[in-house]
Structure 1
Amino acid sequence: MSESRFASWHLDASKKQSIRAGLVDVLPALVATATWGFVTGIALIKSGLTDSMATLMTLMVYAGSAQLTSLPLLESSAPLWLIFAAGTVVNIRFIIFAAALQPFFRHLSWCKRLFLGYLTTDFSFVLFMSRYGDSRTRGTSDQLWYLLAVIIPGWITWNLSSLLGIYLGSLVPASWSLEFAAILALMAIVIPLVKTRPMVMCLLVAGVIAWVGQPLPLRLGLAAAVVGGVTAGVLTERRMSVQASMTR
C-alpha cells in the first residue's frame, strides 16, 4: 500500500469528529433497526424457510422490505422472475437515493461506491442529507467518514437482530405485537427529522399515496409513494425559493 493511500485512511481530528457525529446521529435509529430486523427474522422462519436459508437470505439481502415482499411469493411458489421483479419495485426508491448521493461520492472508485450503495439504507440517507444536503462543498473525507459511521453500525445491528429473530423468535409469545412496535419505533425516529416545509409535504404526500396504493400488486404503492413524496418535496422547495426571491 502506497504511503499516500495509507495517509488517506489516517484519522485526523476532523475525521474523528465526523465519525462521532455519525454515531451520535444513528444511535436512536438503531433501536428501530433492531426491532424491525428482529420482526423480519421471525417472519422468515414463519414463512417456512429453514434456519440456514433464512440466515443466508438476511446476510445477502440487506433489505427488509424486499425480504417481506418476497415471502408470500416464495410460499406460493411464484416464478423466480416475479420474486425479483417485486424486490426491484420495492427497492426502486434507492435509485433516487443514489442520484442524490452521487455528487458526494462520484470521485470514489466503482467498487467503493458499490460498497456504500449496498450498506446505505433509508435512515442513513435521511441522516446524511439532513446534515450535508445543503453543503456547497461535496466529496470531502468528512462526509465519507460520517456516512461510514452511520451505515456500518446499521448493517451490524440489522443482521444481529435478524439472526436473533431467526434463532430465538420461537420463544417470543404470539400475543406480543412486534410488528406494531416496529412501526412505532420507525415513527419515533422519522417524525423528529421532519423540520421543514418541504419535508412535511414529502411525508404527507408519500403517506397518502402509500395508503391509497395499498391494493396495488407488487407493492407498487410504495414505489409510487416514494416518487410522489420526493416530487412534492422538490416542488415545495422550489416554490419557497421563488417566493423568497420575489420578496427580496
Structure 2
Amino acid sequence: MLGFREAFPALVATGTWGLVTGIAMVKSGMSETLATVMTLAAYAGSAQLTSLPLLNDGVPLWLIFAAGFVVNIRFIIFGAALQPYFRHFSWPRRLGLGAFMSDIGFVMFMGRYGEARERGDPLQIWYYLGVVGPGWLIWNVCSIIGVYLAAAIPASWSLEFAAVLALLSVVIPLVSTRPVAVCIVASAITAWLGQGLPLRLGLAAAVLVGILAGVLSERYMDKVQRT
C-alpha cells in the first residue's frame, strides 16, 4: 500500500503520457487494432514513438528493433541497479518483475531504498509492485483510450506539452540532493544537444552522461566531507 500511495500522484503523468502515445500511434497511420496490440505488447512509450516514423518510412524491421533497443538501453542500467534487491528470486520471476519496470517506478524505488543497508527485504518487493503495478494498468488503459479517441482530438490541443508538464511535476520533487540535481542537469543538456542524432541516440547518451555525472558528483561530495 505504501508504494501505491506514493505512486498515486505519478499516475497522472503516466496516464497523460499513455494517452499521448495512443493518439500518436493512430495519427501516424496505424490502425486502432494494431495500435492496441502494440500498446499491450510493448509497454515502452519512448520506443513506440521512436518506431512510428521508421514504420512510415518502411525501413527494415531489424533497424526498428535496433532503434527500440537504443532508446530502452537505460533499462539495462535500471535492471543492474535493482538486481541486489531481487536476486534471491528465480530468473523467471526477475524477468517478470523487469517486464513491469518503468522510469518513474525505478526512480521512486531507488529514492526510497537506494541507500538501504538491507536489500531483499519483503517490504521492498511489495513497495515495487505497489508502484509498477498501477502504473502498468493506468498506462495501458489511458493509451487504449487515446487510440480510440484519436480521431476526435485535434492536434491544436498540444497534449505532448501537457504530458511533459505532468512528468516534470513528478520528477522535480524528487530532486532532493545535489548529485541528483547534477544528474538531471547533465542529462537535460546532453538530450538537448543530441536531438539531431539518429535512432534517438541522444536519449541513450543523456542517460549515460546523467548517471556518470551523478556518480562523480556524489564521490566529489564524499571527498569534500572527509576533508
TM-score between both structures, scaled by the size of structure 1: 0.90
In the alignment, is residue 145 of structure 1 matched against residue 119 of structure 2? no
State the alpha-carbon separation in 1 of the partners of residues 10 and 119 from structure 2.
Answer: 25
State the alpha-carbon separation in 2 of the partners of residues 174 and 51 from structure 1.
Answer: 18
Please, what is the CA RMSD of the aligned residues?
Answer: 0.7
Once the two structures are superposed, residues 121-151 of structure 1 have per-residue CA deviations (whole angstroms, 9 ceiling, x without a partner) of: 0000000000000000000110000000000
In the alignment, is residue 193 of structure 1 matched against residue 174 of structure 2? yes
Once the two structures are superposed, the pairs formed by residues 67-146 of structure 1 within 5 Å of their partners are: 67-146=48-127
Question: Structure 2 stretches of 5 or more lacking a match?
Answer: none
State the alpha-carbon separation in 2 of the partners of residues 155 and 111 from structure 1.
Answer: 19
Once the two structures are superposed, residues 90-128 of structure 1 have per-residue CA deviations (whole angstroms, 9 ceiling, x without a partner) of: 000111111110110011011111111110100000000
2:154 match = 173
For these two proteins, the number of residue pairs brought into alignment is 227
1:49 match = 30
Where has structure 1 moved over 3 Å in runs of 4 or more?
none
State the alpha-carbon separation in 2 of the partners of residues 217 and 175 from structure 1.
Answer: 27
State the alpha-carbon separation in 1 of the partners of residues 2 and 150 from structure 2.
Answer: 33
State the alpha-carbon separation in 1 of the partners of residues 220 and 5 from structure 2.
Answer: 33
The letter for the 1-side match of 2:126 is W
TM-score between both structures, scaled by the size of structure 2: 0.98
State the alpha-carbon separation in 2 of the partners of residues 85 and 174 from structure 1.
Answer: 29
Once the two structures are superposed, the pairs formed by residues 7-86 of structure 1 within 5 Å of their partners are: 20-86=1-67
Q: How far has the Cα of 1:233 moved from its partner?
A: 0.4
State the alpha-carbon separation in 2 of the partners of residues 127 and 79 from structure 1.
Answer: 37
In the alignment, is residue 242 of structure 1 matched against residue 226 of structure 2? no
Q: How far has the Cα of 1:170 moved from its partner?
A: 1.5
The letter for the 2-side match of 1:226 is V
Report % sequence identity: 61
1:226 match = 207
SS in 1 for 2:195: coil
